[in-house]
Copies of this chain bind each other. A is one copy, B any other.
Amino acid sequence: MNYPNGKKVLNRETSKISEARRGMSLENDINVTNEDYLKADVAVVFKKPTPVTIVNVDYPKRAAAKITEAYFKIPSTTDYNGIYKEKYIDFEAKECHSKTSFPFSSIHPHQIEHLRRVLRHGAIAFIIIRMSYYGKDYLIDAEDFIEYYDSSKRKSLSLEWIKENGYLIKNGYQRPCDYLQTVDKVYEL
C-alpha cells in the first residue's frame, strides 16, 4: 500500500514484524492483548477512558456535538480493571525509560490509595512496569509494591528489586503483553 501524503497509518500492520514492536506503547500492547482476551472470552478487562472535565460543548445542527473546552483531570483510580476467572482484577501500567530504577513519582498517590482499597476488598491488584531500555515487562504485585513503598526510604524501585520481586510477562504476537498468563502463576488461579 502506498500513502502518497507520506503519512503513516497508526497502529496497523506494524505489529507484523516483531522488531517494530520496540516503538509501540505499553498502553497499546495492553489494549491489543485485552481485545484478544475479549475475543477468546478469557477475561473482560478495559482501560478506563481518560478523565476530563468538560467545560464547553457546541451542538451544531446536523453534526456531532463538539467539545470545545475541556481539561485533563487527575485520575482517582488505576487505568485498568475487569473480571477474570470470577475475580475482580485491577492494575496500573507504566512505561519506565530509566535503565536503573522506577521512580515512585510515576504513580499518583490517588492510584496507590486505590490499590490499597481494592486489595482490602479482595482484588487481584498489580502494576505492570515496562522497562523500555531492556524491552521487558514486569508484573509487580500491589501488596509487594505497597509494602516496599511504605517501608523503604528510597523513592524508587531499583532494577534489582524489580527483577527479584517482579514477574516477567511473556510478549507474544497475538498478546503483546500477556499478563494473565503471569497472573495465573502468581495468584495460582
A residues engaging B (CB < 8 A)?
5, 7, 9-10, 38, 41, 43-44, 46, 48-52, 54-57, 64-73, 76-77, 81-88, 90, 114, 117-118, 120-123
Contact = CB atoms under 8 A, between A and B. Distances in A.
B7 A86 contact: no
A68 B72 CA distance: 12
Count copies of this chain in the complex: 2
A83 B115 CA distance: 12
Nearest to A57: B7
Nearest to A5: B56
Contacts of A57: 7
A69 B121 CA distance: 39
Contacts of A5: 56
A64 B65 CA distance: 23
Contacts of A114: 44
B67 A69 contact: yes
B50 A54 contact: yes
Contacts of A85: 121-122
Given A83-B123, A86-B121, 13 more contacts: A7-B57, A10-B54, A44-B117, A46-B76, A46-B77, A48-B48, A49-B49, A49-B73, A67-B70, A81-B82, A86-B88, A86-B122, A88-B88
